[in-house]
Amino acid sequence: MIELRAGRVTALVDPERGGRLASLRVEERELLVGPPAGDDRSVRWGCFLMAPWAGRLARGRLQFRGESWRLRQTHGRHAIHGLVWAAPWTVERAEPSAAHLRIDLDRDGWPFGGEVRQTLRLSPDRLALEASVVAGDVPMPAALGWHPWFRRDALGGEPSLLLDADGLLERRSMLPTGAVLPVAGRTDLRGGPPLGRRRLDDAYVGARSPAVLRGSALELRVAFGGECDTVVVYTPRNAVCIEPQTARPNALGLDDEAARGAGGRDLGPGETFTARISIAWASARG
């Protein structure tokens, strides 16, 4: 583990298990769901990077420039959340409040090669996350996203969630159909409603930064740039996941024109695609 410190805030980065953020403690409050076991490499804890795609890739089918590939299915019949969330990363540099990591994309699992880089930088009131996909010697598609698992009980009371987005993707069997529906009722988060028993697993599109998760003791703001205009919200009983993504789920499973319309990037040899988000915290009373 790499320990980062800034004032009364500490973070642990786990290079061996996906280069993920394993812990984020703000004044003794642990904000993230921890692993169910010491050797767990699943997608159900911490905060991990999704690359070189985000979300589900239907039946592991990837399309790019008129060709099609089958990738390893990692979630039932589908490939999920990219290739790097369970793999060991290389630590390029560790500082008292920042960590810089990289990982090669193995051609056995990703036919294009290339690499992914990420930087985690901690300050007393926020964590800044930056990631880049770097193409190798051939063109490749790309998308990025982050998947934090925030603990509900860390915020105090039942949290509310504000997300300024007017539409969400229609889904069938957990996959987007391509249609965009207006938010309504339990899916409308524009007014910052209490989450309560809302069990959401939805991809909001055209989302505007930041998303605000607020409890009685602590408020979290997840800010994202314009390249991350898709935000998946997942609300199981014990956690709240706010997942900014540069492309819609299954974007890289579509033909080239549709993939671009869904946020997929087309990188030439040696080109780099970068995205950034931040997680900030403050007292809800202040």
Q: Which domains does the chain have, with CATH numbers?
A: 2-283 (2.70.98.10)
286 band by pLDDT with thresholds 50, 70 and 90: low
| Percent of the chain topping pLDDT 90 | 93
| Percent of the chain topping pLDDT 70 | 100
pTM: 0.97
Q: What is the pLDDT of residue 38?
A: 87
Distance CA 118, CA 123 (A): 17
How many whole angstroms from its chain centre is CA 202? 14
Q: What's the alpha-carbon Rg for the chain, to the nearest Å?
A: 18
**How many other C-beta atoms lie within 10 A of the C-beta of residue 35?**
16
CA angle 215–246–132, rounded 5-degree value: 105
> Could you report the per-residue pLDDT of 204-234, keeping only the tens digit for each?
999 999 999 999 999 999 999 999 999 999 9
Q: What's the DSSP call for residue 184?
A: -
Say whether 64 sits in a helix, a strand or coil. Answer: strand
Task: Give mean pLDDT, residues 142-166.
Answer: 96
Distance CA 207, CA 193 (A): 16
Taking alpha carbons only, the member of 160, 244, 152, 240 closest to residue 200 is: 240
Contact between residue 63 and residue 41 where contact means Cβ atoms under 8 Å apart: no
